[in-house]
Structure 1
Amino acid sequence: MNIRLTIDGHQVEATLNGSATARDLAELLPIALEMEDFHETERIAYPPRELDTSGAPAASNPKAGDLAYYAPWGNLALFYRDGDHSPNLVILGRLADPADIDLLAGAERIRIEAAS
């Protein structure tokens, strides 16, 4: 599924994968979230409910540009730097253009919606 992220007024394109967790996130769209920094690696925010993680891998190795869901805390994560191997982290998708990754580092507010 193609999605559009509006990051502090800048629109960027991304794609969600076919996982159950990504499909569950898609059901919440459009959604606007306040972001905060986590470990100078990712921006995180909390959707209005926990997402379905059935069939998710036990762990993931996030890369800059990944959109992910951290099941234990119930937060979305947008990685602007490569992250460490992380149990219970589900990769949901990826930004389409690597040049947009720099926008994530300072993101205060994000809106995610389906792209046509």
Structure 2
Amino acid sequence: MKIKITVGDMVLTATMENNETAKDFVSLFPLTVKLEDYAATEKIFYPDRKLSTEGAPSGFKPSVGDITYYAPWGDIAIFYKNFGFASGLINLGKIDGDMSALTGSKNSTVTFSLD
């Protein structure tokens, strides 16, 4: 499944995983949020509710462009730097191509929608 991430007048696309957590995330669309920079590694936000973790693995090792859900805190994280394995991290999908529109500022308002 493809989604759109709109940042100002830029539109990014991402390919979502076929898992229960990703499907639950997409069920919230359209979704407009403010991304905050976290640890100079990822952009994060907290959806209005916790997402399903049914069938999720124990953790995930993210790389640049990965869209993830950190179950212990309930936040969505988009990684712009590679990171090590993290328990409780669930892969939701990956941004297709250039993601500089997300990494250019400390905080960005973005809209997630179906492609």
Which bin holds the TM-score, normalised by the shorter protein?
over 0.9
1:50 and 2:50 equivalent?
yes
Aligned-pair distance for 1:81?
0.7
Whether the 8 Å CA contact 1:79–1:104 is kept in 2: the answer is no
Could you report, residue by residue, the CA deviation over 1:19-60 in whole angstroms, capped at 9, with x for unpaired residues?
100000111111011111111000000111100011111010
1:78 partner amino acid? I
> Normalization by structure 2: what TM-score?
0.93
Name the CA distance, whole Å, in 2 between partners of 1:42 and 1:112: 17
Q: How do 1:12-31 residues align onto structure 2 when only pairs under 5 Å count?
A: 12-31=12-31
Report how far residue 103 of structure 1 moved.
Answer: 2.3
1 or 2, which has the higher helix percentage?
A: 1
Q: Which amino acid aligns with 2:39?
A: H
When the two structures are aligned, how many residues end up with a matched partner?
113
Checking the alignment, whether the CA contact within 8 Å between 1:3 and 1:112 is kept in structure 2 is yes
Q: Could you say which residue in structure 2 is the equivalent of 1:103?
A: 101
Q: Which runs of 5+ in 2 are unaligned?
A: none
2:39 corresponds to which residue? Answer: 39
Give the TM-score of the pair, scaled to structure 1: 0.92
Query: What letter is aligned with 1:103?
Result: A
Identity %: 35
Unaligned runs of 5+ in 1: none
Structure 1 stretches of at least 4 aligned residues deviating more than 3 Å after TM superposition? none
Distance 1:44 1:8 in 2: 17
Q: CA deviation at 1:8?
A: 3.4
Indicate the RMSD between aligned Cα atoms, in angstroms. 1.1
